[in-house]
Amino acid sequence: MRAVRVSVVTAATAAVALACATGCTAKSDADSGNAIKVTAADSSCDTSAKQAPAGQVTLSIDNKGSKSTEVEILFPDDRIVSEKENIGPGTHYTLTAEIKPGSYEIACRPGMKGHGVRQKFTVTGGAGSAKRDPQADGAVAAYREYAQDQADQTLPKVKVFTDAIKRGDLEAAKKAYAPSRIGWERTEPVAESFGDIDPKVDTRADGLESGQKWTGWHRLEKALWQDKKIGPAEKALAGQLVTDLTDWQQRVGKAVISPTSMANGAKELLDEVATGKVTGEEDRYSHTDLVDFKANVEGAQKAYELLKPVAAKHDAALTKELDKQFASLNELLDGYRTGAPGSYAYKSYDKVGESDRKQLSDSVNALAEPLSKLAATVVAS
């Protein structure tokens, strides 16, 4: 990739919004005269105005309730523009955010949980203010659907895996291991955003903290391939895996997603490949790394394809390069497929030699480098 930059036009647009891209907060003691008063209570959330001009929007928040509350400005798809948590009973807080024209909601969450009480809120376009890109909003909504769909499709595949373990069927369990991970691997950045699920289901032996009980896929992988036995402990762990992944399935729809986090997530998936899969560290007992590898690439490509119309407006050269590099990496991976086209049967990674691994690594670098520039092209959206 030839050191692509955001075009000057975009850079200039971005520059205007650079200090606060889509929402950064500043605490100021001096409420500005045109601040919107938000009065939060245990079951209400009153706002002194239903609209404000684009630019700096200030909320002057008073918590009149008996519980701590959280106040958020939200996009229609629940993305957070700006938020303040832990506003104690009887306290006051000023929230300031840089907001573009469009429809929003102001939400108070008494007790800091649940859907909260919400008010519609419109930000009107001032002269020269950029409109939020509905294409980007569409991309986020579609990606949220994708993430949910992947979780929904994963659970039955996980059950095939865990049922085989519960039956004590070693061979069937080995066969079902890699397919049960595909949906998770495709959407890993979203899954990881919850923080508490990933350590339970996808930790490798070297990732354990002192005193941490090893649970999840890789613990079972070791039992199946290295210890070659299924005991009561493994059966219990199989049940635990289903529980933890059901938790993921129920929460994935509520993940905080933005165009920027989608783009960064795509890049993170390639980072996963570069640091875990290419080295063979991820599936060190089963050597099914290439299945995870392919799933990571697919997830990155999904996020990219959804953002592509937005990115192409700002940097067509970048999307052209990304198209090329995705195609080239996929073509390289196709060479390792041992099953029918479209299947997820790949060559065992312990049979992939050093020079082939380097070729895969080079190809990952060739894609990840331009992919790291995607976020900046969608940030103005």
Partner 1 sequence: MTEHVAASDGEQGAGAAHPGRDETAGTGPGSGSGSGSGAPSRRSLLGWGGAGLALGAAAAGGAAAAVTSGDSGGRGSSEAAAVAFHGTHQAGVSTPVQDRLHFAAFDVKTDDREEFVQLLKDWTAAAARMTGGRTVGHGAAGLPEAPPDDTGEAVGLKPSRLTLTLGFGPSLFERFGLKDRRPEALVDLPKFPGDNLDPARSGGDLCVQACADDPQVAVHAIRNLARIGFGTVAIRWSQLGFGKTSSTTPGAQTPRNLMGFKDGTRNIASDETKRLDEHVWVGAKDGTDWMAGGSYLVARRIRMNIETWDRTSLQEQEDVFGRDKREGAPVGKPKEHDEPFLPAMKPTAHVRLAHPDSNNGATILRRGYSFTDGTDGLGRLEAGLFFLAYQRDVRKGFITVQRHLARQDALNEYIQHVGSAVFAIPPGVRDAGDWWGSTLFGNAGN
Q: Answer yes or no: are the C-beta atoms of 342 and 376 closer than 8 Å.
A: no
Binders of partner 1 among residues 12 to 51 (CB under 8 A) are 12, 14-16, 18-19, 21
345 vs 366 by CB, closer to partner 1: 366
Q: Which of 112, 274, 345, 366 binds partner 1 (CB under 8 A)?
A: 366
Q: How many residues bind partner 1 (CB under 8 A)?
A: 31
- The C-alpha atoms of residue 44 and residue 71 are separated, in whole angstroms, by 12
Give the pair of three-digit tokens for residue 159: 């059950």
Q: Which of 295, 326, 55 is nearest to 179 (CA)?
A: 295
**Which positions ≥6 away from 77 have C-beta within 8 Å?**
137, 140, 141, 144, 257
Q: Which of 35, 47, 367, 381 binds partner 1 (CB under 8 A)?
A: 367
Q: Which stretch binds partner 1 (CB under 8 A): 11-19, 180-188, 211-219, 282-290?
A: 11-19
**Can you tell me which residue has the tokens 């306290």?**
91
Residue 242 near partner 1 by CB under 8 A: no
**Can you tell me which residue has the tokens 């006051």?**
92
Q: Is the dihedral of CA 9, 269, 132, 27 positive or negative?
A: negative
Binding mask 314-343 for partner 1 (x = CB under 8 A): -------x---x------------------
Binders of partner 1 among residues 259 to 288 (CB under 8 A) are 260
Nearest approach, Cβ of residue 216 and partner 1 (Å): 32
- The C-alpha atoms of residue 227 and residue 233 are separated, in whole angstroms, by 13
Give the pair of three-digit tokens for residue 253: 């729809």
Q: Answer yes or no: are the C-beta atoms of 313 and 380 closer than 8 Å.
A: no
Nearest approach, Cβ of residue 305 and partner 1 (Å): 19
Residue 5 near partner 1 by CB under 8 A: yes
Binding site for partner 1 (CB under 8 A): 1-3, 5-6, 8, 11-12, 14-16, 18-19, 21, 260, 321, 325, 354, 358, 362, 365-370, 372-373, 375-376, 379
